[in-house]
Structures are given as C-alpha cells and as structure tokens.
Amino acid sequence: MYLLFKRLLDFSISLIGLIILSPLFLVLVAAIKLSSKGPVFFKQKRVGIHKKHFNILKFRTMRIDTPKDCPTHLLENPDLYITKIGRFLRKTSLDELPQLLNILSGKMSIVGPRPALWNQFDLIEARDLYGVNDVKPG
C-alpha cells in the first residue's frame, strides 16, 4: 500500500511540477538551442532500483565536443566545455529539471538517494551493504 501511495504521490507531484514549470522549461529549451549546437537534453546511464540501469535526463550544459564518459571534475579545464547558459543552469540547479520526466516515468522518485553513475562500482557495492540499491533514486 505504501509503495502505491508513494508512486501516486511521485506521479502527481512531477506532473503538477511539469505543468507549472512548463513556461520555464520552454524558455530554457529555447536558450540552450539558440546558444549552442547539439541536443537540448543530456542523457547519462545511472543505476536505479535493484541496480537496473536507466538514462537520467538533464539539460545539456556542456559543448557537444566534450570527452564522453568523463566527469566534469576530471577534465583538465572544464570551463572550456561548459556553455554560458550551462553555467547558469548548473549554478541554479535548473539543469536537473528534466528529471521530473524520470520521476513521471517511474524510474526515479521525488525523495531518494542520488543515482550512482553506472561505473561507480565501489559506491554501488557500498550501497548494497545498506540496502540503498533497493529503493528508487531521487
């Protein structure tokens, strides 16, 4: 019963959030499209409930020629790759807004642990000890 209620709550909150924030969503989509080449969304493989992989959605904040599968903090000069609108999106955390779509689809929850990257094997293993991999990420 609890899981059904939680899913209904996640679905309702994410749907209402998407409706209310849709004007902002559209402005950000236009700003990203006008400021740099490439897709509006950035997809990244993450680990979800029961260690099943899913693609997390974010607004793209980096240029399309950024090295793939390399975390920003490991780049030699990350500022070269972050777009102007991307700096704003990261500073305000608005790049996370598309995750409402992940919540709506049931891959994530409003409240939950941050989803691990697919290649963070040590973190995934450590989360097994505490049952973190048995709940939806949020």
Per-10-residue mean pLDDT, the chain, length 138: 94 98 98 95 94 97 80 75 94 98 97 93 92 94
- Interior angle at CA 113, CA 107 and CA 116, nearest 5: 75
Total domain count for the chain? 1
Rounded to whole angstroms, the Cα distance separating 43 from 56 reads: 6
What is the value of pTM for the model shown?
0.88
Helix (H, G, I), strand (E, B) or coil at 95: helix
Domain ranges, residue 80: 2-134
Beta strand 53-59 with 116-117 is unpaired
